Amino acid sequence: MANMTLPTEAEVRAIDSSAFVWDDLLDGLLSQGQGQVLKAVGDRMESGEILCLVEPFAATGKTAKFVIDNVTDANNLKIATSDQYVDTYLTTSDYFKNTGNVANVYKHDISAATEIVYNGDGDAVKIKYFDANTDPSNPTLLREHEFANDPVPLGTNDLSNFTIVWPAESRVLNHADESIGADTTPNSFDPDVWVLFPWIVNMGFPNFDLDQLKRQFAYIFNKMSSGEVMVVMQFHIPNVNNAFWATFNAMTATGKNWSIEYLLNTETDGSGSWQAAAVKKG
């Protein structure tokens, strides 16, 4: 992608949210302030680029529909949403219907990457992680974690270099089962801009949640090429903020460069908390 100039707080705040095409009745967690950030970033993207919305447990289609309706050149972008697509918290099974079944909206379905193990009382006791992309017909177990134990934190080098295997382009599909690209090679799915909406509901295992967020920041940043962009929503939430700085301090310590713009301050004079951040890889 081109070397995007990150939007500033002033540029984001200058966007008139009263002009948004907005559906209050559509299920989803997107706020109008987050919509301002999405539009500011989306309007800077080039035709044919891929925008990946990372919405764990929340990919109802509201965010992708907002992009379609409000980003200036949205019809010439490819919009993929990454989620497990299970209706545990919000209804994600209507994702394509809610986005209007348009051809340039796709699912990055990660449901095969994890498995929750329950005991006889229905309590979650363990999570299993799989590589479901190297050989989709035979997912490989990578590691397990028992919720009764705190995770062992990754060291600086391990965190800085943490990666996963991404799917082939050919496995990221729209409503008509048309792929986002023709490449069948694992890891060929390669978005230009990532927008993360971290799941901030306390799952009862705070150290586990923190570890998950750190790993997610790392594997997305390590997937990015120089000049590509990651937007982090809910940046002011302590778990998100702590995980971000743990990860990006590790990146800095190991010689990986990045720049940042802080966005959506809670106060008009900039004295409050920053609710979003945009990071460009150096």
Q: Which domain-ending residue is among 99, 133, 149?
A: 149
Number of residues assigned to the chain: 282
Q: Are 138 and 160 part of one and the same domain?
A: no
Query: What residues contact residue 232 under an 8 Å CB cut-off, 6+ apart?
Result: 196, 198, 217, 240, 244, 276, 277, 278, 279
Same domain, yes or no, for 181 and 253?
yes
Calculate Rg over the CA atoms of the chain.
Answer: 18
Q: Which domain holds residue 139?
A: 110-149
100, 128, 149 - which closes a domain: 149
With respect to residue 75, please indicate whether it lies within any of the assigned structural domains.
yes
Mark whether 185 and 235 lie in a shared domain.
yes
In a domain, 256, yes or no: yes
Asked if residue 173 and residue 58 are part of one domain, the reply reads: yes
49 shares its domain with 73: yes
Structure tokens at 183: 């490449």
Which pLDDT tens digits describe the chain residue by residue (282 residues)?
A: 568 999 999 999 999 999 999 988 888 999 999 999 999 999 999 999 999 999 999 999 999 999 999 999 999 999 999 999 999 899 999 999 999 999 999 999 999 999 999 999 999 999 999 999 999 999 999 999 999 999 998 999 999 999 999 999 999 999 999 999 999 999 999 999 999 999 988 778 899 999 999 999 999 999 999 999 999 999 999 999 999 999 999 999 999 999 999 999 999 999 999 999 999 999
Q: Are residues 164 and 26 in the same domain?
A: yes
Are 44 and 228 within 8 A, CB to CB?
no
SS3 (DSSP) at 199: coil
Domain count, the chain: 2
CA distance 26 to 30: 10
Query: In sequence order, what DSSP letters do the residues of 20-79 get, joined into one string?
Result: S---TTS-----HHHHHHHHHHHTTPPTT-EEEEE-TTT-SSHHHHHHHHHSTTGGGSEE
